[in-house]
Structure 1
Amino acid sequence: MYSSKKNVLLLASMLEAYSIRKVVLCPGSRNAPLIQTFSQNPFFRCYTVVDERSAGFFALGLAQEIQQPVAVCCTSGTALLNLGPAVAEAYYQQVPLLVISADRPQSWIGQMDGQTLPQPGVFNSLVKQSIQLLEPDSEEDEWYCKRMIHDAIFQLMNRLPGPSHINIPLSEPLFDFSVTELPKNKPILRNPVDYSLNNSALLEEWNLSTKKMILIGQLPPFNGLEKSLESIAEKFDCVILAEHTANIRSSKVIYNFDAIIYQLLNEEIACFSPDLLITLGGHVVSKRIKKFLRSCKPASHWYVSEEPKIVDLFQSITAQLEMDPLSFVEEINKKCSSNTSKHTYQSRWLSQSKHVLPPTTTVYSDLWVMGKLLAALPCNAALQLGNSSVVRNAQLYPLDASVSVYCNRGTSGIEGSVSTAVGFASIHKGLTFLIVGDLSFFYDVNALWNRHIKSNLRILLINNGGGEIFHLLPGLNQAVSLDQYVSCRHSTRAEKWAQSMGFDYLSAQNEEEFINNLDSFFSVEASNPVLFEVITTMEVNAEAFKSYYHKLKTI
């Protein structure tokens, strides 16, 4: 039995029409008509998460795994505001997250009634579309609601996906659940965009350029780019740079470019800088590549994106190409002349890459742990990376080509990494690994309070007693406020939290304990999720990090 509210019935039927099946429900009374309708319809797969902030990231993790829209539904008031961090991440990571918020009638907003605030448009520019439904009293009202829902879902699933917000006012009485069927609705069909690169001036610019560079930011796994990029690398004198978050694995791609740039001599920089830069995908982690390309501005910079918005990250943009990355590289392969001369520029980068090796430290530290863990990951593992030191340290090591990498780099916040991994793992068929730092873990520890956690989740918690990355920043590392107020040193341990939530708990404080626990951590036979807490010290970690970069200067 469903709610008798017409706007609720319309919304549910439209989500079904557009095949938006997965809905994360946060408890509440104002959204009870929505909860009843979604949960009692066999089409929908519903999840329950009490903490709205965690619920938003849980839904984000679901959407990362299925690469399709996921809805999250909350009650009125501050519950909606708690979804803000996940909405921002979804916007910049281009994830189709649909926020559905129940609300009081407009007449009661601002009248000191309980659990109210102005909800329409609350996310401002961080959503693709924000709509306010009516409580329909006529056929025209129903038509209006359907038109608005169509628009919100269309924007959600547009060429470049992102979040949409549907706010739905619900008057009392709320708990009439007497309707037996949803209304029938059909989706509005859309025609795929045909992308082609027909600008002769750009094609000529490609052919004439002698130092071409393609820099690839964050992309979802299975993006289909590898073969086309390898073809470009073979046919043209072109350097291809990517981070693990780009999910492109090829011997033609250079992953250690951050370390390469660090160890370049001043007189070598001009030889390594491009004259034509092409950027694909989302955010890039490396601050060093940003500084390098801003200081050595290329003569031309093409930004490739399906969104008609200028993004001039390197202060040098000359062309905005409204294309998806795969169409672009296929068009280059098809329409540009192959370069038969020696690949001098590409060879220079590849040669340097071979000389820049991963850290080989034998000292028990964050770097040592990261290297051992990544080398031992099983084939086809799903790897979720926390932000800050974790994602940067992971980039220093090679990854097996079969590993899929996810990270909340849209806004690079630390607050939702655990919740995202929990959501992802809840529907992923294989093992899901999360590597996360201590501040990020404890910030999001409520993620463990979740009934949908499965035994396939493996969390490696690197606990160095605070925000270690701040101790590596020149100037800040000398501040008297550093320990207490910035890096927030602590002696907190995760054991009791993990065990109270049904996790198997492992811990290590040295090399031997770490190695001895690896088999248990990687075991597919575990009947519970596993949390492996690795205790390191900031001072040793900092020395290991500095030692590695010091050696780079001596190559």
Structure 2
Amino acid sequence: MKNEALTRQVYQLIKRLYDYGVREVVISPGSRSTPLAMASEMHPELKTYIHPDERSAAFFALGLIKATERPVAIICTSGTAASNFTPAVTEAFISQLPLVVLTGDRPHELRNVGAPQAIDQVRMYSNFVKFDIDFPLADLNDAPHDLIEATMLQASHYFRGAGRGPVHFNVPFREPLIPDLTAVDLLVPEPVTVFEEERTVDLSALAPLFEKGNGVMVVGDCQHQRLDDILQVAEQFRLPVLADVLSQLRGLEHPNLIRTADTLFKSQQTIQPDYIIRVGKPVVSKQLNQWLTKQTCPQILVQEKSEADTFPVVPQYHFNMQPDTYFKSMLKLKLDVKNDLVSEFQHLDRRLAEVIETHIDAVRDEGTAVAKLLQQIPDDEVIFFGNSMPIRDGDTFMKHGRAFCNRGANGIDGVVSTALGMAAHQTVNLFIGDISLYHDMNGLIMHKLERSNIRVIVLNNDGGGIFSYLPQRQEEALFERLYGTPLGLDFKHVAALYDLEYHLADENMELPEGTHVLYEVRTDRTANYEAHQLLNRKAKAAINE
């Protein structure tokens, strides 16, 4: 028996998701979510992926969002299946990614009575979603239809713009769960028109500061921000542009681009500009953030986000808009700018680039391995860094290319899955530590199922390498058990399990051909730490000279 009310409800919901911009759906199989899964599968224009692990599935969806800049839906059944979405929902919230969470649920009479696979799913992600709703059970009245129309209009506000972020639809179903699979006419798309607000800004009040002052631009995480005119602004206002590894600027060529800021500020904290323009989310570099905290000059934050990221210090001005809108307004100011800092930064950047290049040739450790491999990656391929040490080595050594990372909550959850989500649309090179790879090893199933174009470069120092750089390393009696955590994993077996071609790095550090590869680089944590300290000493000596 087909449930007519359920069919109308679920088909309208899935149709409207498509109408408002969703093009991909990641489904984790389960019984109570059957109507949502079948309606998605029956939609003629939706691309569906089947992923059996909810935690990894949700991060895979984040990768799809990063690759396409479109909202992506995820579907799971009731119970702890929904709980496993939580880490990715958290990351989506902080990173402003439009993840549409659809959780199937038990009907109201089976809640809180001890029925199987029933937990309280109402507002279960309330700290980490922009919008949520617990839908009523389907019936044949017009009220559910009107509610879906209102809900989609409201929720779609969070699919784009300054308020972008995850939304949660909890959808209870009463058996029978199978919709009418012949009613595909209910899925015919009906495009909706959303008018974006056009904004400009008058910057004349800041003109005296720009004209007379020595300014610096710090560009942080701009994975999802537009920077169309940034180099023209750098030229016209003689601004050194300190480009974070996630700035999306490392692949561009301009004399004002500074790629060595992290190394520079490990040794030099005395530079004092007259104003600072911060673009995007905070930078990776701890040393650069420390320098920003010390400055007493006006700081301007340009970031399309209603709840501004004020870290590491609250700015005097926040322009809540896409950077390219701000830059266009800045270019309208016809000023005679004399900024003396740009030549100083250019000189230091050239000198430190020479030091880093010499260090790469002379030293063999995890950092220089990352550097040598980065040099071999074509410009049209994506670089995806795991958190902890890979993103930091990327910040030090990456000279070209486009880099991405789950830098919202800065966790190691779901790194493999997010990279594989991006790999559904483009070739990805994933740099990841052994602990982080182990943590999301389930995610590799999507390579086996989808044959995505990915190179997994695992930096295996047999443990948590980043802890060697923290004060905890001085507590030798406790350090290895609590923080070093050696796992003794042989990743050759992992490659075989998930249909990846395995390669073990040798001294030549040559990236293998092909895009279905697991490439293991074995390093030593103590040697890595000592090599990083050596580079810092070399940099400090060069600056002092």
Shorter-chain TM-score: which interval?
over 0.9
Which residue of the partner structure matches residue 129 of structure 1? 131
Task: Name the TM-score, length of structure 1 as normaliser.
Answer: 0.90
Q: Distance in 2 between matches of 1:84 and 1:234?
A: 44
- Structure 2 counterpart of 1:540: 527
Structure 2: distance between partners of 1:175 and 1:224 = 44
* Higher mean C-alpha deviation, range 149-158 or range 461-470: 149-158
CA offsets, 1:342-367, max 9 Å, x none? Answer: x3111111111111132335333102
* Aligned counterpart, 2:154: 151
Deviations 1:247-294 (A, max 9, x none): 013322212111111122xxxx44x23332222212321111111111
Shift of 1:185: 6.7
Of the structure 1 ranges 182-191 and 413-422, higher mean CA displacement relative to structure 2 is found in: 182-191
- Deviation of residue 123 (structure 1)? 1.3
Partner secondary structure for residue 99 of structure 1: strand
- Code of the residue aligned with 2:391 in structure 1: it is V
Match in the other structure for 1:488:
485
Residue pairs, 1:496-507, within 5 angstroms: 496-507=493-504
Q: What secondary structure does 1:554 align onto?
A: helix
Quote the Cα distance in structure 1 between the aligned partners of 2:334 and 2:218: 19
Contact 2:76 2:103 in 1 (8 A): yes
> 1:310 deviation in Å?
4.0
Aligned with 2:258 (options 254, 260, 264): 254
Residue number in structure 2 paired with 1:196:
200
Say which of 466, 469, 473 aligns to 1:469: 466
Q: Is the 8 A contact 2:223 2:404 kept in 1?
A: yes
Is residue 549 of structure 1 aligned with residue 536 of structure 2? yes
Whole-angstrom CA distance in 1 between matches of 2:31 and 2:110: 16
The match for 2:388 is: 388
1:385-534 matches, cutoff 5 A: 385-400=385-400, 403-428=401-426, 431-450=427-446, 451-454=448-451, 456-508=453-505, 510-512=506-508, 514-515=509-510, 518=511, 521=512, 523-524=513-514, 529-534=516-521
Cα distance per residue 1:480-533 (max 9 Å; x no partner): 22111112023111111211211111113x414x34xx3xx1x24x6xx11011
Give the aligned length.
530
Residues 23 and 243 from structure 1, CA distance in 2 versus in 1: closer, same or farther, beyond 3 angstroms? same
Q: CA deviation at 1:470?
A: 0.4
**Matches of 1:84 and 1:408 in 2, distance apart?**
15
CA contact (8 A) 2:15 2:189 kept: yes
Uncovered stretches (5+) of structure 1, i.e. residues with no partner = none
CA deviation string 1:140-191 (max 9, x = no partner): 2320222112212222234442111111111122134354231667455322
* CA displacement, residues 55-107 of structure 1 (integer Å, 9 cap, x when unaligned): 01111111111111111111111111111111111222222211111111233
Does structure 2 conserve the Cα–Cα contact (< 8 Å) formed by 1:27 and 1:75?
A: yes
**3-state SS in 2 of match to 1:539:** helix
Of 440-449 and 470-479, the range deviating more from structure 2 = 470-479
Instruction: Report the 3-state secondary structure (helix = DSSP H, G, I; strand = E; otherwise coil) of the residue aligned with 1:532.
Output: strand
1:432 and 1:475 map into 2 onto residues whose CA distance is: 34
Q: 2:136, 2:171 within 8 Å by CA — same for their partners in 1?
A: yes
Q: Distance in 2 between matches of 1:445 and 1:48?
A: 17
User: What residue in structure 1 maps to residue 276 of structure 2?
Assistant: 277
Q: 2: distance between equivalents of 1:131 and 1:202?
A: 44
Aligned AA for 2:433? G
Farther-moved stretch of structure 1 (120-129 vs 194-203)? 194-203
Q: Secondary structure at the match of 1:511?
A: coil
Q: Distance in 2 between matches of 1:206 and 1:3?
A: 66
- Higher mean displacement: 311-320 or 348-357: 311-320
Maintained 8 Å contact 2:134/2:169: yes
Amino acid at match of 2:61: A
Does the residue aligned with 1:117 lie in a helix, a strand or coil? coil
Q: Provide, for residues 12-43 of structure 1, a one-character-per-residue CA deviation record: whole Å limited to 9, x for no partner.
A: 11022224121000000000111111112221
SS in 1 for 2:94: helix
The AA in structure 2 aligned to 1:465 is D
8 Å contact from structure 1 (residues 425, 454) kept in 2: no
One-letter code of the match for 2:278? T
Percent sequence identity over aligned pairs: 28
8 Å Cα contact 1:14/1:149 also seen in 2: yes
Describe the shift of the 1:78–1:86 C-alpha distance in structure 2 as closer, same or farther (beyond 3 A). Answer: same
Q: How does 1:201-350 map to 2 (within 5 A)?
A: 201-208=205-212, 210-220=213-223, 225=227, 228-248=229-249, 249-251=252-254, 252-264=256-268, 269-270=269-270, 272-298=271-297, 300-339=298-337, 341=338, 343-350=339-346
| Per-residue deviation, 1:390 | 0.3
Aligned partner of residue 360 in structure 2, secondary structure = coil
For 1:42 and 1:178, locate their aligned partners in 2 and report how far apart those are by CA, in whole Å.
12
Q: Look up the SS of the partner of 2:218 in the other structure.
A: strand
3-state SS of 1:238 partner: coil
Distance 1:367 1:16, change over 3 A: closer
Letter in 1 for 2:541: T
Judged with a 3 Å threshold, the aligned counterparts in structure 2 of structure 1 residues 52 and 477 are, in CA distance, closer, same or farther, namely farther
Contact 1:278/1:301, CA 8 A, preserved across alignment? yes
CA contact (8 A) 2:230 2:324 kept: no
Helix, strand or coil for the counterpart of 2:311?
A: coil
